Structure 1
């Protein structure tokens, strides 16, 4: 007596109550992403891994909100009363708020290289490098995770500024532009940090370099005062400082002051791309 032919897998799965797509996964693995779909998927995965850390420890977000609050409460309100810095007719605390948003985002991103050195020391980086994930995707994921963390910090600063009476716009499109500027600048500064990490290869050295460049970047920008009141050599520094372009974009979007938005965003995009390329090229050296 001949045996009845076996039912096809899809029929068995249908009887088991499985949908057709799930049934196909029982008999063959899913097709791997290839070509242009691979890089965005890996970047999103790395970014999600980085952001998962915030679910377990949100202390960083709370502690980092203290410094920008002090800048606005003490420095901003004091210099508003003094009126010593020309701000084009707007209160100094209004003028300062976009600069503090940029500063707080930079301070989060600029020490991002310490984390990648810790991952190297813990053996995590070597495990990531042996996966099919491109190095550029690893760096880009970390860079945009730093951007999203900075965006959370920017929201905190905007809320504090609104409570203090800063006349900010609430136009959704302009706020979207603010978010893009914050993410792009944070991506650049995190890549700058990871590039330095790939050169110095040590957490102690990186902390020294980070502390050495954060204040010059901040004071060499238009975050605290207009470029027009700077000495000539500092104006030259401000023109090559990506933080200046970020602050210019944030002021134009949040306060409606004259800005060069096309130039600002072009500089931020190019800076982020160059930062990703530089950090990716040194990632292998960091892992050795």
Structure 2
């Protein structure tokens, strides 16, 4: 049992490191290429600045979408049965796990901020902006971690879970405004991006992280989409959570 726990912690640690390195590599390479070519219409914002919030959103997504594997391990260790035997509401259990993932992902924000600073990205250092970024990261991670828990409740095995998680991350990332504006998307992709919660995470981060940047949809609208989506996912996951013990 101790070997399983150690293996889980080691995998989580390795994946977090990979995500940070991957985010930095993508931001530098893509930023330099498009900045020199001038191919990406980002208005008065340099392309490297434009994608910095998208890279943070990418880190949040990639970490959170695999969070559900922890629940599968907890089931194998008998922890899920103990949770279900407690009087704690199922929704509270699910929300607690999502918020726990959100707090842990704050380190990703620190890494992206540090690298962005060295790359010359014009970050906003206002207290309100920083607070908004922290809140957005926590909400977004909670949202995608809860979605990950739903997947875990349905597939129930680590192998199937990893396959589903890997097949979802890149479509969610590229069908958002993380690395290019929605205005240049073809109509069908623009429609998908409007249904993609990650689009609103990126939009909110872009409005609060950068100096002189604004929200495309409105910051209140971004928050509303994220909170309503999170609430809906928590309710669905609360119904499915007992299935893990079967």
TM-score, structure 2 normalization: 0.91
CA distance in 1, matches of 2:104, 2:185: 31
CA distance in 2, matches of 1:126, 1:258: 46
Distance 1:62 1:208, change over 3 A: closer
The offset of 1:61, in angstroms, is: 4.0
RMSD across aligned positions (CA) = 1.6
224, 230, 241: which one aligns with 1:272: 230
Match of 2:239 in 1: 281
67, 92, 98: which one aligns with 2:47: 92
The offset of 1:63, in angstroms, is: 3.6
CA distance in 2, matches of 1:209, 1:76: 30
The offset of 1:60, in angstroms, is: 4.9
Paired residues, number: 234
CA distance in 2, matches of 1:190, 1:246: 14
CA distance in 2, matches of 1:287, 1:83: 54
Alignment of 1:31-180 (within 5 A): 60-180=15-135
CA distance in 2, matches of 1:119, 1:243: 28
203, 206, 218: which one aligns with 2:173: 218
* Structure with larger Rg: 1
The offset of 1:133, in angstroms, is: 2.0
Checking the alignment, whether the CA contact within 8 Å between 2:45 and 2:213 is kept in structure 1 is no
Q: Give a deviation string over 1:220-252, Cα, whole Å, max 9, x none.
A: 000010001001011111111110001111111
CA distance in 2, matches of 1:85, 1:104: 22
CA distance in 2, matches of 1:217, 1:264: 17
Q: Is 1:262 aligned to residue 220 of structure 2? A: yes
Give the gaps of 5 or more residues in structure 1: 1-52
Match of 2:156 in 1: 201
Give the gaps of 5 or more residues in structure 2: 1-7
Match of 1:12 in 2: none
SS in 2 for 1:112: coil
CA distance in 1, matches of 2:102, 2:125: 21
CA distance in 1, matches of 2:18, 2:202: 23
SS in 2 for 1:177: helix
